Amino acid sequence: MSTIYILWLRQLKRSFRSKSRIIGSLGQPLLFLLAFGYGFGPVFQKAGEGNYIQFLTPGIIAMSVLFSAVFSGIEIIWDKQFGFLKETLAAPVSRVNIMIGRTLGGATISIFQGLIVLAISFMVGFRLESAVAAWNVFLFISLIAILFTALGTAIASILQDFQGFQMIMNFMVMPLFFLSGAIFSFQGLPSALEFIARINPLSYGVDGLRGSLTGVYQFGFIPDLTVLSLLTFILILIGGYLFSKIEA
């Protein structure tokens, strides 16, 4: 445990040194909140669906966490390219512990960014339905962050260049986001798209956040928590295995 803590702390310090990355990553969520929230808000309200900012905010928080978590894996490729990973792997430490420490470090930054987006959302009109749900919000943000940081780490472990990682991530991340119920409801979707949305792991994270923040669930608290917890455990196992086979 002490090894994982040290690696987590090291990854955390490394990420916080890149303040421009943290600040820059907040631009897109803020743009989505303002452009989509106020642009589609009147249409959403006329359709009898209520306040679009209330509906949209949980999805934008999930988006911020998703993007930050997945792209934290690119640091592994960076370390491969410049030889830093060899030094880490040469240490008398289990590679699985290294992977877990890096994953928790990247996930912590993603959690931090998600909480910042939540704080910003109050400035654009979002209102929390119940302060009691704050723990559930943190729980779902944490699960999303760990799940997709582990996914990014797993993919980066088998790739050798930045271009391949960016191509795969863009191919995966945008569909994950747009088919998660983050910016529109599942109701009225074609059956094929609805099926894809229901097997999308981010859908359960978005639903868990939306339910915790607004009290409205699509699947329910227990299904959301169960699916995310199970997938997080599986991705950590897969990521740990792939990282243990890595060639620096």
Per the CB < 8 A criterion, the answer to whether 239 and 157 are in contact is yes
State residue 3's pLDDT score: 56
Residue 16 has pLDDT above 60, yes or no: no
Average pLDDT score over the chain: 80
Q: Long-range CB contacts (< 8 A, 24+ apart) of 56-59?
A: 56/32, 56/182, 56/183, 57/33, 57/118, 57/121, 57/126, 57/213, 58/182, 58/206, 58/209, 58/210, 58/212, 58/213, 58/214, 59/180, 59/181, 59/182, 59/183, 59/206, 59/209, 59/210
Q: What average pLDDT does this structure show over 78-93?
A: 66
Residue type, 143: L
* 164 CA to centre of own chain: 20
Residue 82 has pLDDT above 80, yes or no: no
Higher-scoring residue by pLDDT: 188, 33: 33
Higher-scoring residue by pLDDT: 230, 112: 230
- Range with the largest mean pLDDT of 98-102, 191-195, 214-218, 228-232: 228-232
Residue 95 has pLDDT above 80, yes or no: no
State residue 229's pLDDT score: 94
- Model pLDDT for residues 139-185, shown as the tens digit of each residue: 999 999 999 998 888 888 787 776 777 777 678 888 888 888 888 87
State residue 134's pLDDT score: 79
